[in-house]
């Protein structure tokens, strides 16, 4: 008997369109019945690739004639099929982000599972059936079986919830029992005990025999949070999933989750697409963080997919998603205002001896600085070190200096492949481009005029660290940024040193601002926070306020001296309204101002955006492609009579127009209603994909940067 199946394969939209597969699914023939969710090996052109069976069919629904359909090479054995809910989530993501289904499904899987060469084929049996196995899967499943018993751990002492935490937990508990729960914003100031609240909710989820998914914005937070979970949930099996895992470990963790052997899966944005058959609760920690947005391939928002996944539910029944933040995104805040999301508030710190720090602005106009620090900051650091209290110095720019310059001819250390300056890194005496990876040794003299006096302009974290060592020679100082934490475990070691009181000053970028509980820190110093105030990006103020509020929250979290905790922010614009709200710890006022400005200007979340970007050898080619694409879109809108619903802006170069010798341009699409935007994008992309072009292009829905 002959069976037909539709298989999702990871192929670009242009390939799918050329073959005539609008949804990125491909028809194959099999001699056995294959259930949806099974992995298969199939021929594709001259290659053999891994695919996922999505549907069973018959010859009446084939996209090509039955005699042209190829046979499934083998069915993968030893791994349970992917569930209906997982397939439904991927279908939603493919529709929403306008990508072929295979380009959504396959990249979310561990590399070992999507590499055909790693599978071992068995000879056909009597029924001409051939199977494939991946030995690593069998080993991972054996580990899963061993993990199912509760591990031997010593429970930590239970922490009593305060009134606000108890009320927040009660709301989440009611949502766990409800039939159609709304997303819940767990809105609490830094140090208010949000983690303790959602830990209790996770414990109830596990007790009901279900799994919980917890998303975090940074890989460096995963081990720290995992240890907290192991202490607070000693009976639970905790898994983790992030891009920092080696391929073998990533496969093992994925299989543990897929087989239902973990109770809680902690992970970064890619974990939102993990297979979790008993999922009953999702928590998105620091939901405002831009790290949840993927900027390559499927350009998805993990926060938005988490909300969609909870709504799609398990066995057709929705379950809760908790969005935790002290500085929620404007999109989330707008949904709270309209009643689509529920809000629970934690307005005071959980610890009885913890106090919100006093935030003071330190004007830098007409003030002489030493190594970039005003006298106010220098004196404050001296005082805290003398009292044995660690100090955090926040500067969100890595490297030694943003640029090298020649005072004689005004030469700048530009990257030859990108339209940006190359950053000076003093540690290796090299210029680095943080966009394309280009680097070269620092020239001895100016390449243009031969002047030997090249000056480092501005400050990066390396230079700040050097300056602090010069000002405070006896202090124990360390730096935490992407450069200093490349080695595995480096970030964890530095953070543990702060917790243990082995450091006096910790210098770092926004890696310091995300979720770390520094119990002894009573002073945070912020350098050069002004650049975002004058950005052309309408979201720059939101990101700046969030970063400053988060890093300020590292101070005064506990200890006898929390009462005197301070945050000192050097600024040239102390009168700016953003700083007024920040000094008052008043996110509500800041959010009201932001949303008011965006409503007046018709900007998200009060409108809906998509951006088409094109890459070419020259700017003219990229702009010309987008201009033709725009004309195609205008024709579609005029023909359908929907021109009033969609605004197609003129194509322009991107802010960083050239990266790695590729010129880039963009075209903004704006709509007042989300459904109208997606209807237009469906028609527009179908027309564009039917025309072959040498230009590389992609579409991003809900872009964070324009």
Mapping DSSP to helix (H, G, I), strand (E, B) and coil, where does residue 661 land? coil
Sequential DSSP letters for 594-660:
HHHHHHHHT-TTSSEEEEEEEEESSHHHHHHHHHHHHHHHHHHHHHHT-TTTEEEPPPEEEEEEEET
**Residue 536 CB neighbour total at 10 angstroms:** 7
**Which residue has better confidence, 227 or 638?**
638
Cis preceding linkage at 27, omega within 30: no
Q: Which pair of tokens denotes residue 600?
A: 């007046």
Q: Which pair of tokens denotes residue 335?
A: 């949904």
Contacts of 111 (CB under 8 A, 6+ apart): 247, 250, 251
Half-sphere exposure of 63 (CA within 13 A, CB side): 17
**Which residue has better confidence, 348 or 418?**
418
Contacts of 85 (CB under 8 A, 6+ apart): 277, 279, 309, 312, 313, 314, 315
Lowest mean pLDDT among 144-148, 217-221, 365-369: 144-148
Mapping DSSP to helix (H, G, I), strand (E, B) and coil, where does residue 70 land? strand
- Residue 147, pLDDT above cutoff 60: no
Q: Which pair of tokens denotes residue 22?
A: 């609008």
Q: 419 falls in which pLDDT band (50, 70, 90)?
A: very high
Q: Nearest 5°: CA angle at 700, between 696 and 705?
A: 110
**Which residue has better confidence, 136 or 576?**
576
Residue-wise pLDDT for 298-338, tens only, equals 999 999 999 999 999 998 899 999 999 999 999 999 999 99
Residue-wise pLDDT for 245-264, tens only, equals 899 999 999 999 999 999 99
- Residue 16, pLDDT above cutoff 80: no
- Residue 8, pLDDT above cutoff 60: yes
Residue-wise pLDDT for 402-412, tens only, equals 999 999 999 99
Residue 152 pLDDT? 43
Residue-wise pLDDT for 448-495, tens only, equals 999 999 999 999 999 999 999 999 999 999 998 888 877 766 777 777
237-247 CB burial, b ≥16 within 10 A, e <16: bbbbbbeebee
Residue 354 pLDDT? 73
Residue 536 pLDDT? 85
Sequential DSSP letters for 554-568:
TSSSSSTTGGG-EEE
- Residue 510, pLDDT above cutoff 90: no
- Residue 93, pLDDT above cutoff 50: yes
Sequential DSSP letters for 479-535:
EESTTTT-STTHHHHHHHHHHTT--SEEEESGGGGSS---TT--EEEE----GGGG-
Average pLDDT in the chain: 89
CA–CA dist 695, 80 (Å, integer):
41
Q: 122 falls in which pLDDT band (50, 70, 90)?
A: confident
What's CA 24's distance to the chain center, in Å? Answer: 26
Residue corresponding to tokens 């390449």: 447
- Residue 527, pLDDT above cutoff 70: yes
* Cβ pair 306, 321 in contact under 8 A: yes
Mapping DSSP to helix (H, G, I), strand (E, B) and coil, where does residue 676 land? helix
Sequential DSSP letters for 333-362:
HHHHHHTSSEEEEE-S-SSTT--PPEEEEE
Could you tell me which of 205, 213, 230, 182 has the C-alpha nearest to residue 343?
A: 182
Q: What percent of the chain has pLDDT over 90?
A: 68
Residue 154 pLDDT? 41
**CATH code given to domain 358-399+462-598:** 3.40.50.300
175-182 long-range contacts, CB within 8 A, separation 24+: 175/320, 175/342, 176/201, 176/204, 176/205, 176/208, 176/280, 176/281, 176/319, 176/320, 178/320, 179/317, 179/318, 180/318, 181/310, 181/318, 181/319, 181/320, 182/340, 182/341, 182/342
CA–CA dist 429, 461 (Å, integer):
15
CATH code 3.30.230.10 for 608-701 = no
Q: 57 falls in which pLDDT band (50, 70, 90)?
A: confident
Q: HEC profile for 369-401?
A: CECCECHHHHHHHHHHHHCCCCEEEECCCCCCE
The burial class, CB within 10 Å (0-12 / 13-18 / 19+), for 402 is: buried
- Sheet hosting strand 25-30, strand order edge to edge: 70-71, 25-30, 3-8, 47-57, 39-44, 74-76, 131-133, 120-121
| Crossing angle of helices 302-312 and 84-97, rounded to 10° | 130
| Cα–Cα distances in angstroms (integers) from residue 25 to residues 6, 401, 521, 688, 700, in the given order | 6, 50, 55, 19, 22
- The answer to whether 162-346 and 358-399+462-598 have equal CATH topology is yes
Q: How confident is the model over 98-105, as a mean pLDDT? A: 93
Q: How confident is the model over 422-450, as a mean pLDDT? A: 95
Q: Which pair of tokens denotes residue 445?
A: 């003299």
CATH code 1.10.630.10 for 162-346 = no
Question: Domain 3-133 adopts which CATH fold?
Answer: GIY-YIG endonuclease (3.40.1440)
Residue 60 pLDDT? 53
Domain ranges of the chain: 3-133, 162-346, 358-399+462-598, 402-457, 608-701
CA–CA dist 574, 569 (Å, integer):
9
Residue corresponding to tokens 């124990």: 476
Residue 153 pLDDT? 43
Direct distance between the N- and C-terminal alpha carbons of the chain, in angstroms, rounded to an integer: 54
- DSSP 8-state symbol, 235: T
* Cβ pair 32, 58 in contact under 8 A: no
Could you tell me which of 252, 158, 144 has the C-alpha nearest to residue 196?
A: 158
CA–CA dist 36, 105 (Å, integer):
13
Residue 349 pLDDT? 84
Q: Which pair of tokens denotes residue 300?
A: 């998805």
Residue-wise pLDDT for 389-403, tens only, equals 889 999 988 899 999
Residue 148 pLDDT? 52
* Cβ pair 299, 698 in contact under 8 A: yes
* Cβ pair 614, 625 in contact under 8 A: yes
Could you tell me which of 108, 114, 98 has the C-alpha nearest to residue 44?
A: 114
């Amino acid at each position: 008997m002959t069976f037909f199946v539709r298989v999702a394969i990871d192929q670009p939209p242009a390939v799918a369109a050329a073959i005539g597969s609008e949804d990125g699914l491909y028809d194959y023939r099999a001699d056995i019945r294959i259930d949806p969710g099974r992995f298969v090996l199939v021929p594709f052109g001259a290659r053999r690739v891994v695919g996922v069976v999505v549907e069973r069919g018959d010859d009446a629904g084939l996209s090509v004639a039955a005699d042209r359909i190829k046979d499934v090479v083998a069915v993968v054995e030893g791994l349970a099929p992917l569930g209906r809910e997982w397939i439904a989530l991927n279908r939603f993501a493919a529709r929403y982000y306008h990508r072929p289904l295979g380009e959504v499904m396959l990249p979310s899987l561990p590399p070992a599972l999507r590499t055909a060469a790693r599978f071992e084929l068995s000879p056909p049996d009597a029924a001409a059936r051939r199977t494939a196995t991946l030995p690593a899967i069998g080993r991972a499943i054996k580990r899963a079986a061993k993990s199912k018993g509760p591990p031997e751990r010593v429970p930590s002492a239970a922490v009593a919830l305060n009134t606000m935490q108890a009320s927040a937990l009660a709301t989440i508990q009611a949502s766990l029992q409800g039939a159609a729960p709304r997303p819940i914003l767990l809105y609490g100031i830094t140090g208010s005990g949000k983690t303790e609240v959602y830990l209790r909710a996770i414990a109830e989820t596990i007790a009901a025999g279900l799994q919980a998914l917890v998303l975090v914005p940074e890989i460096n937070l995963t081990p720290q949070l995992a240890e907290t979970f192991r202490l607070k949930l000693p009976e639970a099996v905790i898994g983790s999933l992030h891009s920092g895992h080696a391929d073998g470990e990533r496969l093992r963790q994925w299989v543990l989750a897929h087989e239902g052997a973990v109770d809680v899966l902690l992970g970064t944005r890619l974990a939102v697409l993990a297979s979790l058959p008993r999922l009953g609760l999702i928590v998105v920690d620091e939901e405002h963080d831009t790290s949840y947005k993927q900027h390559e391939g499927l350009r998805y928002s993990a926060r938005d997919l988490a909300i969609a996944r909870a709504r799609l539910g398990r066995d057709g029944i929705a379950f809760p998603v908790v969005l935790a933040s002290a500085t929620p995104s404007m999109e989330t805040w707008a949904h709270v205002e309209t009643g689509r999301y529920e809000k629970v508030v934690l307005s005071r710190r959980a610890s009885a001896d913890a106090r919100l720090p006093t935030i003071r602005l330190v004007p830098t106009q007409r003030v002489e600085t030493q190594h970039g620090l005003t006298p106010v900051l220098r004196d404050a650091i001296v005082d805290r070190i003398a009292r044995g209290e660690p100090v955090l110095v926040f500067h969100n720019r890595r490297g030694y200096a943003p640029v090298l310059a020649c005072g004689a001819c005004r030469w700048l250390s530009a990257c030859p492949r990108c339209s940006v300056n190359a950053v000076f890194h003093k540690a290796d005496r090299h210029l680095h481009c943080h966009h394309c990876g280009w680097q070269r040794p620092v020239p001895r003299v100016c390449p243009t005029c031969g002047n030997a006096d090249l000056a480092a302009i501005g400050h990066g974290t390396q230079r700040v660290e050097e300056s602090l060592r010069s000002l405070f020679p006896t202090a124990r100082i360390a730096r935490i940024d992407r450069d200093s934490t490349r080695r595995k475990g480096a970030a964890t070691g530095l953070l543990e040193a702060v917790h243990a009181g082995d450091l006096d000053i910790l210098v770092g970028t926004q890696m310091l601002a995300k979720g770390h509980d520094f119990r002894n820190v009573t002073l945070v110093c912020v350098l050069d926070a002004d650049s975002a105030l004058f950005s052309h990006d309408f979201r720059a103020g939101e990101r700046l306020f969030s970063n400053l509020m988060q890093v300020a929250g590292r101070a005064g979290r506990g200890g006898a001296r929390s009462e005197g905790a301070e945050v000192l922010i050097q600024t040239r614009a102390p009168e700016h309204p953003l700083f007024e709200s920040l000094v008052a710890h008043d996110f509500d006022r800041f959010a009201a101002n932001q949303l008011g400005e965006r409503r007046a200007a018709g900007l998200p979340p009060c409108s809906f955006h998509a951006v088409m970007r094109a890459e070419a050898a020259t700017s003219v080619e990229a702009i010309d492609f987008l201009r033709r694409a725009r004309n195609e879109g205008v024709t579609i809108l005029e023909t359908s009579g929907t021109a009033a619903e969609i605004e197609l802006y003129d194509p322009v170069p991107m802010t960083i127009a050239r990266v790695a010798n590729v010129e880039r341009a963009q075209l903004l699409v704006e709509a007042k209603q989300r459904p109208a935007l997606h209807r237009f994008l469906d028609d527009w992309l179908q027309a564009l994909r039917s025309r072959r072009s040498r230009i590389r292009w992609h579409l991003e829905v809900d872009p964070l940067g324009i």
